[in-house]
Structure 1
Amino acid sequence: MQKTFFPYMAIIIGVISISTAAVLVKMASDVPSAVTANYRLLFAAVLLLPYILLRRRDELKRLAIREWVLTVLAGISLAIHYIVWFESFQYTSVASSTVIVTLQPIFAFVGTYLFFNERFSAGTVISMLIAIFGSVIIAWGDFQIAGEALYGDFLALIGAVFITIYFLLGQGVRAKISVMSYTFIAYSIGAITIVIYNVATSYPLTGYSSNEWMIFLSLAIIPTILGLNLLNWALKWFSTSVISMGILFEPIGASILAFFIIGETITWAQWLGGTIVIFGLLLFITSTRRKRQMKLTVGQK
């Protein structure tokens, strides 16, 4: 078995897991978006706490100030991402919102170029453009440049900026800290940030139905602990740009789930765009695998 198998599988499973987030949020449409985001991160941090206390307490004590600062900033960025992205579902469809938020490779490529001196071949850039073009096609039939839909699209775009910042900060920290410690701090800071936001905006934190509490818990377990943790784990071997390209699969998974669970129609444009996204992603993986010598000692930390 090739050593590349586990990191690539982590990205695949991680992307499938995060694809459930949009539908779960849409199912909790009667709950303020920031409250849903709050409990997603809070429950995730609580579920990770026993492991951190038992296995990673000493690691947290050894963290340098720089790692603490970067991880705290990552948590704040993640909180902002969830607040604006979840709010976007109030104004636009699952397909449009997830497509726009996964256009983050545009920002990721700029970020890794500026801060990590990462360089890309012409083939890599072309494959990125192909995948992004496919994402645009997915949403074309639903994309409206007017009214509430435009506002929802704008919120999703802001969400794309902040999730990219989150991954860029993580790329700078993950070489020195385990994925569990990193995500625990980031989720905890994110939850605290959103609690402050909810208190300031007078959103109620209690009084929700058992079904809505189950949605909060599902968001914490499936797309957060399983999905984001796997993508954060993969940052030890892949750059932010590679992770972001993998996340371009999310609109495909989210659109399929939205069709079966909440009845949102999948258009011909979404099917066509999905095919183009996969094609572009495969080109990207092929071009970067030839260029990059990855550290693939699976099982470290």
Structure 2
Amino acid sequence: MNSARRSPIVSPKAGLVMAVLAVSVGAILVRWSNAPSSVAAFYRVLFTTLPLLPVALHRYRDQFRLIDRRDIAFATLSGIALALHFAAWFESLNWTSVAASVTLVQAQPVFVALGAWVLLRERVTRRMVAGIGIAVIGMVAMSLGDLLGGVLVGPNPLYGNALALFGAVMTAGYVLAGRSLRQRLALVPYVVIVYGACTVSLLLIVVTQGHPLTGYPPREWLVFAGLALGPGLFGHTVINWALAHLESSVVSVSLLGEPVGATILAVILLSEVPTFVTIVGGIVVLVGITFTSSASRA
């Protein structure tokens, strides 16, 4: 088993590069969609979850019976947080630049560290405090710098940036709620419960907002499928696979390539050039995230 893990058929590093490219496409696909953001988020999660159900019911049926109510409750809470993340982040892309939205939503390690300190009483090191402080400075620069400079990329960057940050906070909630569960539950049962709760939550958001679930042109369904296939299957699924073959620090740092990749794609495919303040603020945020993540693993 160990030799198989050390020598996979596909290079884990090559797989990780493909995964980062796949998740980088996510923001572009959201921008290409003309459907309400919550609808796009709903179908993104639904189409990612559906292929897992036959596998879960066939191979993991007995494990589902062993899951207690407390674990189901925490997995459901994790799924609700994930749904709020998707809803907020997808909507943020309607109001601010791809560069700002993707960078700010990637700040979840900062909020995980803060949440672990406040809720779980985990120790906060000086390096973590420094990383959080650096990231916050970058967030402020990205959120306010362009407004003060009079150059706007997006209809309402401040609102869009706030939604992206809320999405990052919800991702932190998703991580914290599921942290202990992954030590007790197999990956597929855990993912099915979390994604199932996420799908139902997004469905409720869509219905509450009064958006239709059908009647969209074929182009929209291709975008929905692309969101599930690219960022979902070839992105996050491959990232989870790579974690079995690479150090978590390598994977975490590699994920910081998503804002870079998404920004480059936005320039090429959307003709959206970020402002100088956004670029500098984004770099500062990424440095802060790197500091916080490395300190959390130390």
**TM class, shorter-chain normalised?**
0.7 to 0.9
**In the TM superposition, what is the alpha-carbon distance from 1:174 to its structure 2 partner?**
0.6
SS of match in other structure, 1:158: helix
Name the counterpart of 2:57.
53
Maintained 8 Å contact 1:105/1:128: no
Maintained 8 Å contact 1:80/1:159: yes
Amino acid at match of 1:63: I
Name the counterpart of 1:40.
44
User: For this pair of structures, how many residues does the alignment match?
Assistant: 286
TM-score (norm 1): 0.78
Q: Does residue 28 of structure 2 align to residue 23 of structure 1?
A: yes
Matching residue within 261, 264, 268 for 1:260: 268
Maintained 8 Å contact 1:128/1:245: no
Amino acid at match of 1:161: V
Q: Does residue 122 of structure 2 align to residue 114 of structure 1?
A: no
Name the counterpart of 2:174.
166
**In the TM superposition, what is the alpha-carbon distance from 1:115 to its structure 2 partner?**
3.7
**In the TM superposition, what is the alpha-carbon distance from 1:205 to its structure 2 partner?**
0.8
Q: Does residue 231 of structure 2 align to residue 223 of structure 1?
A: yes
CA shift in 2, pair 1:114/1:11, >3 Å: farther
**What runs of 5+ residues in structure 2 fail to find an aligned partner?**
none
d(CA) in 2 for partners of 1:213, 1:98: 23
Matching residue within 126, 129, 135 for 1:125: 129
Q: Does residue 94 of structure 2 align to residue 90 of structure 1?
A: yes
TM-score (norm 2): 0.79
d(CA) in 1 for partners of 2:245, 2:44: 27
Matching residue within 213, 221, 233 for 1:213: 221
**In the TM superposition, what is the alpha-carbon distance from 1:91 to its structure 2 partner?**
1.6
Name the counterpart of 1:77.
81
Deviation string 1:52-92 (CA, Å, 9 cap, x unpaired) is: 12222222121111111111111111111111221122222
d(CA) in 2 for partners of 1:210, 1:123: 50
**In the TM superposition, what is the alpha-carbon distance from 1:207 to its structure 2 partner?**
1.5
Amino acid at match of 2:100: S
SS of match in other structure, 2:51: helix
**What runs of 5+ residues in structure 1 fail to find an aligned partner?**
292-301
The range that moved more, 185-194 or 246-255, is: 246-255
d(CA) in 2 for partners of 1:230, 1:267: 32
Identity of aligned residues (%): 36
Deviation string 1:133-170 (CA, Å, 9 cap, x unpaired) is: 45665666645799833222222222122111011112
d(CA) in 2 for partners of 1:241, 1:76: 27
Alignment of 1:271-282 (within 5 A): 271-273=279-281, 276=284
CA shift in 2, pair 1:271/1:9, >3 Å: farther
